[in-house]
């Protein structure tokens, strides 16, 4: 998955959960820190907001956000399934793209 695909997936999950980007940032901040510092939380919110729009954001960071969402209790309460692609060496680019398109159709039908 490339950066924009993961960013879009995160935004889609946030919409489905009814969360804002600020809510995600606050949840992540609280998970990572033992104290509440409003100024630091606001900085974290801006950092997350930028990471969901910049094309240069590392996919690994975004996948961390996805993993957090996937493991959050509200995500599992709604019985969501996080769709993940694991490309196999036996698939050429054409077949891989066909599978991605099929997956998008399935996602639209079940949401």
pLDDT tens digits for 1-27?
Answer: 789 989 998 998 898 888 999 999 999
If 0-12 CB within 10 Å is exposed, 13-18 middle and 19+ buried, where does residue 6 land? buried
| Confidence (pLDDT) at 24 | 96
Mapping DSSP onto H, E and C, the string for 26-94 reads: HHHHHHHCCCCCHHHHHHHHHHHHHHCCCCCCCHHHHHHHHHHHHHCHHHHHCCCCCCCCCCCCCCCHH
This prediction's pTM: 0.69
Domain extents for the chain?
3-80, 81-111
Quick check: helix, strand or coil at residue 2?
A: coil
Q: How sure is the predictor about 94, in pLDDT bands with cuts at 50, 70 and 90?
A: confident
């Amino acid at each position: 998955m490339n950066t924009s695909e993961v960013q879009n997936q995160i935004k889609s999950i946030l919409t489905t959960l009814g969360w804002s980007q600020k809510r995600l940032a606050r949840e992540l901040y609280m998970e990572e820190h033992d104290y509440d510092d409003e100024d630091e939380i606001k900085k974290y919110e801006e950092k997350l907001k930028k990471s969901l729009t910049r094309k240069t954001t590392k996919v690994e960071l975004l996948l961390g956000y996805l993993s957090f969402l996937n493991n959050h209790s509200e995500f599992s309460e709604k019985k969501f399934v996080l769709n993940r692609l694991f490309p196999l060496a036996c698939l050429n680019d054409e077949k891989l793209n066909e599978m991605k398109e099929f997956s998008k159709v399935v996602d639209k039908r079940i949401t």
